Structure 1
Amino acid sequence: MSVSHSQLRAFHAVAVNGSFTRAADQLCLSQPAVSDQVRKLEEYYGVMVFHRDKRSVRLTDVGERLFGLTRRLFDISTDAHELLMDYRTLTTGSLNLAVDAPVHVLPHVARFCARYPGIEVKIETGNTDDVLHRLFSHRADLALLGRSVEDERLLTLHLRSDPMVAFVAHGHPWAARDSIRLADLDDAPLVLREQGSVTRQTLEEEMASAGLRIRKAIEVEGREAALEAVAFGIGAGVVSAAELGSDSRVRALPILDCQRRFTETLVCLRAQSSRRILATFLEMVRDGLEG
C-alpha cells in the first residue's frame, strides 16, 4: 500500500501553517477532517509527526524529515499545475514576496500587476533574516534582502546600492546642519533597529571600524517605529538614503565619511526559478533596471 496522498496533503498543510485550524481553512476542510487524516497517517506507520499541546503544533524529528519530502512533492505538483496554466498566459496565480523594504520593489510590482492583473500579489515585510527564513520555508516566492547572501541554492538579482544617512527631528541640535561625520555619532543617543536588522549591523560595523561608541537611546522593531521614535525626539537614527522618504517631521543628514552602503538584492530559490510567474517577474525587473 502506498502512502495516502490526502494524508500527506493534510500533514503538509499543518506543517506549513503550524496549526490544524489554519490548515483546514487552506484545504477547505473541517478541522476534525484534517486531524483525522494526520491521525490515520501516524497510526498506520506507528510514528508521531507532530508534538501537540493546547497552544502550538511542532514537528517531531520524523515530521521534519517527512516535511522535507512533502515540500518537494508539492513543489512538483505546483510546477505541473503551472506548466498547464502556461497556456492561459498568466491569467491566474499568485506571487508572494517577503521584503525588507517595499519601496525598492514596488515600482516593479506595479508594472507586473498592470500587465498581469489576474495574478494575486502579496507583500510581507520583515528584516533580512526574517524574509530569508520565509523564502527557505516556502512561505515566499521571492525575497528582497538588505545584504548580499552567498548561497548556491539562491538565484540573485542585484537591484541597487545606497549610502547610509542619519536623520533627526527638527528640534534636534543637528537639525540646522547640512551633514555630519561618523564622529558626531560617537556616544550620541541613537534610535537602533532590532537585532538581525541589516541597518543596525551596518552601523555597528562602521562605528566599530572607526573606533567609535554606540549609545542606545531606545531599540525598536521596524523602520516605521524607528522613524516615529526619531520624530518624537528620542534620538538620531540611521537608514538607507532610499528608504527615508519625505517625512516632514525629520531632516536627513548625509554622513560624509561613511564608507558603507546598503545593497538590495532580489532572490528566489534556484530550484523554483523556472516557474513561469517567477521567471516573468524577474525578467520584468531586469528590463526595468536596464531601462
Structure 2
Amino acid sequence: MTIMTNPRLLEQLNYPMIAVFLDLCQTRNLSLTARRLKKSKSQVSTLLKKLEAITGLALVCRQGQTVYLNEQGLSLGKSLFALVNLTQFASQLSERHLRHGQVPVLSTMRLKIPIRFFGGGMSQALIRSVAICRRLYPDVFIACEFFDSYNYYHYHQTAWALDGAALGEMRINYCLNAREAEQTLSPWVLLSTGSRRPVAIDSLEALKHYQLLIPKMPWEIMQQMAAFLEARGIDFVYHHTDYTQLLAQELPADRVLLVNRLLLTQGLCRGHHLAPFPADLRVGFDIACSGSHPIFADFEAIFRRIVHKPAQYFPRWRAQHTLRQWQYFHQILVAGSVVGAAKQLYLSQPAVSKQLNQMEKMAGVPLLVRHGGQTLRPTPVGKIYADIAKGMAIASDDLLRQVATQRAYQRQDLNLGILPSVDKNSHLLDLVMNKISKWQRQFPELSINIIEERHQHLLSLLHNQEINLAITEANAPSLTQYPISQPEPLGLVIHPDVLPTPMPDSLSWQSVSDYALIVLRHGTGIRDLIDQQCSKLGITLNIAIESDSLNLNQRWVTSGKYATILPRSAMGSSIERGEVAFIPLSPTVERVLKISHLSARRLNAFEQSLLDSLRGG
C-alpha cells in the first residue's frame, strides 16, 4: 500500500533541516550553505536528504555544483517559512520579555506579498525586512500571507493572527505602469550561458538572432514582456519551467532567458552572463497600507532599501523550542491534561511530560499550572505561548496539507477505504462505482486505490494517514463524517423455511433472541449499531458465531443454518431470488454510510473534490 503522508512528520522535522532548506533557496550551493551555517558539506547534504525522506518528496535538483528547488520544493517553501517566522518571533519575544516574567501586549501586522518561495529578490527583501522589524518591534507579529499569480498552482494559506490588536494590513503588489519618479523600478535583463555571441545584443533587431525564452514567472510580469515582443513581431517561446529552475541549467549558445531584475539575486544569476534588455521596459511594485502604527513606515523603508541590493542573505535561524515541543504543548492545552494529550498523540505520558518539562526549562518560567486534579491551565506567560502554539498548529496543518497535495501530484493517486461487500446490488458498491467513475472523468490524470477493510481497520488506516478518505457506517469522535446514503433500517435476514407462516411484517428485537445468529465481529460499524441497541433495550441475542467473512456468513444464512442482522441491500440479490427473507426490526435502527476523514487534518484539493463527488447526488 502506498503511504499517503508520514504521520510523524512534525515530530521528525527539525530546525536544522529547515535552515538548510531555506539557505539553499538563495545560495543554491552546498559548500556556501555549509560555510554560512557552520556545518560540513556532508552534514548539509544529510539534513536535506532527511527532509526529503520525511516528506516523501524530492525537493531539489542538482546541476553540477548547483542545487535548486524543484516544483515540490517551491510549493513547501512558504509553509516552512511560516513555521520559522513564528518560532523566530517567539524566540525574540522570550528573550526580550517572557523569560523575565514580563507579559507584553501583543499585536499583529498582516503582510500580503505576491511571491512564490523562493522568489528571488522579493523573497530576500521580505525576510530581511521582517527580521529587522522583529528586532525593532518585538511585540508585533508580522503575519506573512503569500499569494502568487502562477496560473498552474494556487497556494492556500490559513489566515491566523495573535489574540490582540490588529494593526492593519500592508499589501505589496507588482506595478507595470509605475511613475517615472518611482525608485523601485526594475529593468528586464537578458541571461545567457558563456560569453561568445555571434551578434551583440544591443538592439531589438539583434534579438532576432536568438531564441528568446520567457520562463514561468509571475503572470503580470511575464505578460508585460510577451505583449511587448508580440507588438514588435519578435518571436519568443514560453517555457513551462520556473525561471529559478532554468537559471540552474546551462543554456545553448543561441538561447537567451528574459527575466526582470526584480526577481533575481546573486545566487540565481551565478554562472550566467547578464546584459540589459535593449529597450526601456520596467517593472515596479506598489505598497499599500491600512495601518498607522510606526512599523508600517519602517517596514516599507527597509523593504525598498533592501530589494535592489544584489546580495542580502537570510539571517541565520535560531529556535528556543523544537517543533515537537510546540506540538505537544498545543495538544496539552487542547486536551486539558498531559494524559489526554498523550492519548491524542498516541504516546506515553512520560514522553509528553518530558517535552513539557524541557520546554518550561528553556522558557525560564512556568507555562502551566494545575487547576483541580489533573487539569492544566496556562500561566500569564503560558497564555502567550498558547497563542503562538495555536499558530504553530495552523502552520503545521498547512505544511501537512501541502505535502499531501504534492504527493498526490507526484504519485497521481488517492487511497479510499471502503467496507467489505459481497452483494452486487449493495448501496455501497453503487456509490463507489457510479460516483467515483464520474469523479475520475474530471481528473483523468489521477488514479484511485480502493482498500477494503472492516470499520475498525479503516479508522486505524485513517489515523495512520495511510488512506485519504474512508466510507464508514458508524460514528467516530475523531472523524469528520458526512452522510452519503439514505438511511437503511436493519432487519433479520433468515431462510424462509425457518420463519412461521404467515411471514411476519416485522419483528421486535426481543423476538430475535429465538434465532441462532451469525453476526459480524466487534469493531464493525453494523455490529456497533446492534450492540448499542441491545444495550439500550437490555437484551442479549443468541449469537452462535462471530465472523468477518461475508461470503461464509451469506452461505450459512442461505443454507438455513443461521440468521443474521443486516440492512436489506447487504444481501439484496439473495432476497430478490427468494433464497432468504428480510424482516424489519422494531424499534427501527438505521445504517447510514458516511464519507469520513480525520478531523485534525484538512483536505487537499483532490481529496475535497472526491469527498464532494461522493456527497453529491
TM over 0.5: yes
After superposition, the Cα gap between the structure-2 partners of 1:156 and 1:208, relative to the gap in structure 1 and judged at 3 Å, is closer
The separation in 1 between residues aligned to 2:533 and 2:599, in whole angstroms, is 32
C-alpha RMSD of matched pairs (Å): 3.5
User: What is the CA distance between 1:99 and its match in structure 2?
Assistant: 1.8
User: What is the CA distance between 1:119 and its match in structure 2?
Assistant: 2.0
After superposition, the Cα gap between the structure-2 partners of 1:175 and 1:211, relative to the gap in structure 1 and judged at 3 Å, is farther
* Uncovered stretches (5+) of structure 2, i.e. residues with no partner: 1-15, 18-45, 57-346, 353-395, 422-426
Aligned position for 1:98: 417
The separation in 2 between residues aligned to 1:111 and 1:123, in whole angstroms, is 16
Residue identity (%): 15
After superposition, the Cα gap between the structure-2 partners of 1:110 and 1:164, relative to the gap in structure 1 and judged at 3 Å, is same
User: What is the CA distance between 1:189 and its match in structure 2?
Assistant: 0.4
Aligned position for 1:159: 484
For 1:118, the aligned partner's letter is E
Give CA deviations for 1:96-130 in whole Å, capped at 9, x if unaligned: 11122564231321221233333211222222211
The separation in 1 between residues aligned to 2:581 and 2:451, in whole angstroms, is 27
Aligned position for 2:515: 188
What is the TM-score when the length of structure 2 is the normalising length?
0.33
Q: Greater Rg, structure 1 or structure 2?
A: 2
Aligned position for 2:558: 231
2:592 is the alignment partner of 1:263: yes
The residue matched to 1:218 in structure 2 has which SS?
A: strand
Give CA deviations for 1:61-88 in whole Å, capped at 9, x if unaligned: 8xx99xxxx9997754333455xx5xxx
After superposition, the Cα gap between the structure-2 partners of 1:169 and 1:283, relative to the gap in structure 1 and judged at 3 Å, is same
1:78 to 394, 404, 422: 404
Instruction: Determine if contact 2:405/2:606 at 8 Å carries over to the other structure.
Output: no
2:498 to 172, 180, 185: 172
The separation in 1 between residues aligned to 2:603 and 2:400, in whole angstroms, is 16
The separation in 1 between residues aligned to 2:530 and 2:599, in whole angstroms, is 31
User: What is the CA distance between 1:143 and its match in structure 2?
Assistant: 1.2
User: What is the CA distance between 1:236 and its match in structure 2?
Assistant: 0.5
User: What is the CA distance between 1:255 and its match in structure 2?
Assistant: 2.3
Aligned residues: 228
Instruction: Determine if contact 1:164/1:241 at 8 Å carries over to the other structure.
Output: yes
What is the TM-score when the length of structure 1 is the normalising length?
0.65
Give CA deviations for 1:176-224 in whole Å, capped at 9, x if unaligned: 6253412331142001111112222322332343343311222111433
For 1:124, the aligned partner's letter is I
The separation in 1 between residues aligned to 2:563 and 2:47, in whole angstroms, is 58
Greater relative contact order (Cα 8 A, min sep 6): structure 1 or 2? Answer: 1
After superposition, the Cα gap between the structure-2 partners of 1:165 and 1:250, relative to the gap in structure 1 and judged at 3 Å, is farther
2:476 is the alignment partner of 1:149: yes
Instruction: Determine if contact 1:190/1:236 at 8 Å carries over to the other structure.
Output: yes
The separation in 2 between residues aligned to 1:272 and 1:213, in whole angstroms, is 39
The separation in 2 between residues aligned to 1:4 and 1:234, in whole angstroms, is 63
Instruction: Determine if contact 1:163/1:241 at 8 Å carries over to the other structure.
Output: yes
Aligned position for 2:613: 284
Moved more, 3-12 or 206-215: 3-12
The separation in 1 between residues aligned to 2:529 and 2:517, in whole angstroms, is 14
Aligned position for 2:436: 109
2:583 is the alignment partner of 1:254: yes
The separation in 2 between residues aligned to 1:238 and 1:254, in whole angstroms, is 9
Moved more, 159-168 or 114-123: 114-123
1:120 to 410, 430, 447: 447
After superposition, the Cα gap between the structure-2 partners of 1:77 and 1:200, relative to the gap in structure 1 and judged at 3 Å, is closer
After superposition, the Cα gap between the structure-2 partners of 1:12 and 1:189, relative to the gap in structure 1 and judged at 3 Å, is farther
